[in-house]
Amino acid sequence: MEPLYFLVMLLIWLPLILYTLKRQCDSLKRRRQMLHIKKLQLEVRRNLKREQLTFDVARSILHASMMESGASRVRQIEQLADLQSLHQEINGQLEELDVALNSYRISE
C-alpha cells in the first residue's frame, strides 16, 4: 500500500515542483537579460562620455583655428556642423537604448 501512496503523492506534487522550477528558471533568464541590458547601457554611456570629450576638444580646436584664420572659415563651420550632427546621433542612440530598457521593464 505504501508504494501506491508514494506514487499518488508523486503524481500530485511533481507538476507543482516542475512549474515552480520553470518559473524560477524564467526569472533567472529575465534577470540575466536585464543585467546584460544594463551592461550595454553603461558601455554606451561610457562611449558617449568619451565621444563628448572628443567632440569638446575638436570644437575647441576648430574654434581656435577659426579665430586664427578667416580664410577657411566656411569649411571649418561645416566640420563643426558635422561634429554636432554626430553628437546628436549619439544622443539619439542613447535615448533609443533608454526607451528599449524602459519598454523591457514595462513588459515584465
What are the residue boundaries of the structural domains of the chain, listed by start? 2-107
**Which residue type occupies 51?**
E
Q: What's the pLDDT at 108?
A: 64
The pLDDT of 3-13, averaged and rounded, is 88
Higher pLDDT: 19 or 64? It is 19
Mean pLDDT of 11-37: 93
Q: Between 9 and 76, whose confidence is greater?
A: 9
Structure-model confidence comparison of residues 64 and 49, the more confident one: 49
Name the strand (E) or helix (H) holding 74: helix 73-107
Residue 59's contacts (CB-CB under 8 Å, 6 or more residues apart) are: 80, 83
Question: How many helices (H) and strands (E) are present in the chain, helices listed first?
Answer: 2, 0
Global pTM value: 0.47
CA angle at 25 for the pair 23 and 26, rounded to the nearest 5°: 65
Pair 34, 104: CB distance under 8 Å: yes
